[in-house]
Structure 1
Amino acid sequence: MITQNKKKDMIRPHVVVIPYPAQGHVIPLMSFSRYLAKQGILITFVNTEFNHNRIVRSLEKSSHDDYYVGDGINLVSIPDGLEDSPEERNIPGKLSESVLHFMPNKVEELIERMIADSSGGTIISCVVADLSLGWAIEVAVKFGIRRAAFCPAAAASMVLGFSIQKLIDDGLIDSDGTPSVNKTIQLSPGMPMMETDKFVWVCLKNKESQRNIFQLMLQNNESIESTDWLLCNSVYELETAALRLYPQILPIGPVGWAHSLEEDSISTSLGSFLPQDRDCLDWLDQQIPGSVIYVAFGSFGVMVNAQLEELAIGLELTKRPVLWVTGSGDQQPINVGSDQVKVVRWAPQREVLCCGAIGCFVSHCGWNSTLEGAQNGIPFLCIPYYADQFINKAYICDVWKIGLGFERDEQGVVPRLEVKKKIDEIMRDGGVYKHRALKIKEIMMRGVAKDGVSYENLDKFVSWIKSQVN
């Protein structure tokens, strides 16, 4: 383990943070960790070796062991049992199998070593585990360590997971999570509508992944019973219905926005698997305010070529400037040669969405992107693909009404003229969607203000952590 500042660290509260090994989970938990570190709390952040190496490379540094960042964040790693080759890692179900069966023992071994290495010095005050890793809560229980579960998704996604047994009892899903009927349901008035064939765990093309993810969720429901805190990266006023249904869920979001105190580009990119292309910020500064279409679908390339082509041509038909983030996939927009289109592999998204040039966000509706767009008053155009993205799209389009979905053709593809039509509608001068989006931004600002629910929940959690060393 890292030994620098050891005497200082011995009197600091110490939190071990364990994210699910995916980009959309690592980033919010890293933002949360940066906030805790700013409050004087020592952080040990546990990634898989594969993701740890990607993060270190994205920071343009190298390390084979632990990695100490700034004043209080120590990046450590555990194996995930998978080969580094893309062929191995792209096999359906491999990652979920590793999370379910391989990683628990490695995390337990790590914490056991940390306790042995402390030699009566720095103790672990708390384990903060991704809600998707309920077994990590059980590991903390085994060692007598206090624990908190952190949900990087919407509270509505948590409520859906907590409702699994009722869904089985009502005949909506079978014992492995497969929908028994195609039906649209609402878990509580005010919550988004959900389609049974688009539940978070449903993987229609990969039953093995579905079984693993569903098994994790069942285990999580049991593990949550022994957690001290159940934290969620959400805002009370945006998910009032879900949070009233399960008041033990404490919203602390959006993490990484008003809570974050980072001053430089290295700290803002910490947790990213890919190097950020910051040149796009200079390009945005040269554009007319509110004119740019921002296109980003997260870190995975999920779009089929036919859809990629229709989207690219539709964007070109709008004759508006476009900033397109391709992510880690090999796909490229068709019209990359256009002067109107700036293409980057990965962008500093929070800073991009703060830029006045952005007029709308064409998004896969991951929860991080949903919060980051909403907190900057940006209207959305939604193309969800899997997991919780359909719930988030329902929030955007049906509950908050700050965006639009696309109509698909018989092949399930959004045609180019539909792309142009919806973009023209959402970016119309004086548009109702922009007005509503700014109202949502105001709501989120109140949540993180000093008398806001998120601020108060965070303050209570930090005070509780610090009390462990008294």
Structure 2
Amino acid sequence: MGYHVVAMPYPGRGHINPLLNLSYLLVSKDDITVTFVLTEEWLALIGPVSGAPNIRLLSIPNVVPSERTRSADFIGFLNAVFTKMEAPFDRLLDQLGLPVSCIVADTFLPWMTTVGSRRNIPVVSLWTMAPSMFSVHYYFDLLAAHGHSPDDNLPERREEIIDYLPGVSSMRVADLPYPTVGRGGSTRKHVIEAFSVITKAQAILFTSFYELQPHVLNTLRANLPVPIYAAGPSIPFLSLKVPPSKPIASGAAAYFDWLDSQPEASVLYVSLGSFLSTSMEQMQELSMGLKASSVRYLWITRSEASSLQEACGEMGLIVPWCDQLKVLCHSSVAGFLTHCGWNSTMESIYAGVPMLTFPLFVDQYHNSKLIVEDWGIGLKLKQRVGEEYVIGREEIAETVKRLMDLNGNEGRELRKRAKELQETCQRAIKLGGSTDNNLNAFVRDVVQGQCNFAN
């Protein structure tokens, strides 16, 4: 008899993609089927899953605000995720027709542990950010006791050092997750709610690989009452083994032909994510700064693409979408100007590409610190917190040139460290590597139920 995993992500692309990539890894193991549950809107956006007959996609009704409008009232969106999704998911479980071995759900679906307890199904919490960001939230009481709550992130305290979180390297207050404040208040109450039930899960899965933050993971293993498994990077590296079909050489799909025509290690890849956008003033400064740098670049943006293309001249190409991991692995790409989302960070590490950091939201400020200070594989473009701070074109051009200088000591050192981390990452996912071993242990302990978990 096979094993059946029900997987449900938080409804956002940065959470859906890693759980879907994890699902591909799970069904590559013997006798596992994954039922992947999305909202109706996200089911339409994701489309059919190819090459994995053991993954089936199902949906619940659209009980949360649309993806197109959620950033306008993010607090309201979170409220709906935390209160509206449980009932339709619970009803869906009754209709599956297969017994459920375990549920893997995003940490920010805290009601899932209640569902699992009620049905006597093991629930696994999937953490889709850096392990050290998990520690920041888990030890929130320590931060509050020292007056370092992210909600109290006052300008005069941003340079204060935090060196007391177990297993976490020292950081500044400015490196904490920058809180989102909206009409309904701060996201802090939702984070506290999610972490208040985290140890009611039967296990915690991380989308990182062990060697990236071993001290953080070792400390969490010693301090948490539930097992943890580092099964990342949860990026689509399996798709790289499939021979790519040649994109149609017209319109936006011609970006691979454009990359093929560029000199080796000459292109800066630019993408600031799919959720939040920067101000139009900042977009114009970025456009002018890239042009002034005289560096070739491929820029992914959905806003004002035509006007920006006119401004960027012959050195740049602007398209609304690309296959990011394949682009980062292309031989012409030598740098990544990124918003520092965790999935993008992991893909850049996998590809061995150094980064120029431009954080916008929540954990991205912390990731920027990891990239630049802890791992030494990038430079900070955005030094200060807050959307109101606009980086000028001169600073952008100068920092881009520093990152893309293959002959200078700084550029060589960044690429050397990025290559070393890439090799560590790729060893982890090989047969017998730390990720492979962690995934096998997770399947044995949780999916196959060889460990007894007390609710």
Gapped regions of structure 1 (runs ≥ 5):
1-10, 60-66, 267-275
Shift of 1:468: 4.6
Alignment pair present for 1:26 and 2:16: yes
Q: 1:404 to 1:227 in 2, by over 3 A?
A: same
Select which of 276, 280, 290 maps to 1:315: 290
Asked if the contact 2:9–2:38 (Cα under 8 Å) also holds between the matched residues in 1, the reply is yes
State the Cα deviation string for residues 21-51 of structure 1 (Å, max 9, x = none). 0110001111001111222411111111221
Alignment pair present for 1:202 and 2:179: yes
Shift of 1:69: 7.0
Asked if the contact 2:377–2:417 (Cα under 8 Å) also holds between the matched residues in 1, the reply is yes
- Report the Cα distance in structure 2 between the residues aligned to 1:148 and 1:88, rounded to whole angstroms: 26
Residue matched to 1:239: 213
- Report the Cα distance in structure 2 between the residues aligned to 1:401 and 1:341, rounded to whole angstroms: 27
Select which of 247, 250, 268 maps to 2:229: 250
- Report the Cα distance in structure 1 between the residues aligned to 2:307 and 2:93, rounded to whole angstroms: 45
Residue matched to 1:413: 390
Over the residues paired in the alignment, what is the CA RMSD in angstroms?
A: 2.9
TM-score by length of 1: 0.83
Asked if the contact 1:236–1:243 (Cα under 8 Å) also holds between the matched residues in 2, the reply is yes
Residue matched to 1:229: 203
Q: 1:416 to 1:348 in 2, by over 3 A?
A: same
AA in 2 matched with 1:74:
R
- Report the Cα distance in structure 1 between the residues aligned to 2:33 and 2:331, rounded to whole angstroms: 36
- Report the Cα distance in structure 1 between the residues aligned to 2:58 and 2:50, rounded to whole angstroms: 9
| Residues 370-381 of structure 1 mapped to structure 2, 5 A cutoff | 370-381=345-356
Select which of 112, 123, 140 maps to 2:116: 140
Residue matched to 2:224: none
Alignment pair present for 1:78 and 2:54: no
Shift of 1:312: 0.7
Alignment pair present for 1:156 and 2:135: no
SS of the residue corresponding to residue 404 of structure 1 reads: strand
Select which of 367, 371, 377 maps to 1:392: 367
Select which of 270, 281, 294 maps to 2:269: 294
Asked if the contact 1:381–1:406 (Cα under 8 Å) also holds between the matched residues in 2, the reply is yes
Select which of 107, 127, 147 maps to 1:131: 107
Gapped regions of structure 2 (runs ≥ 5):
222-226, 246-250, 451-455
Q: 1:353 to 1:26 in 2, by over 3 A?
A: same
Shift of 1:83: 5.5
Residue matched to 2:453: none
Residue matched to 2:242: 263
Residue matched to 1:63: none
Shift of 1:216: 2.8
Asked if the contact 1:129–1:137 (Cα under 8 Å) also holds between the matched residues in 2, the reply is no
Shift of 1:106: 2.0
Asked if the contact 2:338–2:344 (Cα under 8 Å) also holds between the matched residues in 1, the reply is yes
Q: 1:104 to 1:187 in 2, by over 3 A?
A: farther
Select which of 45, 70, 77 maps to 2:36: 45
Residue matched to 1:343: 318
What number of residue pairs does the alignment pair up? 430
Residue matched to 1:272: none
Q: 1:197 to 1:79 in 2, by over 3 A?
A: farther
Alignment pair present for 1:107 and 2:114: no
Residue matched to 1:90: 72
AA in 2 matched with 1:426:
L
AA in 1 matched with 2:105:
A
Q: 1:402 to 1:378 in 2, by over 3 A?
A: same
State the Cα deviation string for residues 165-199 of structure 1 (Å, max 9, x = none). 2223333339xx55476444234487355444664
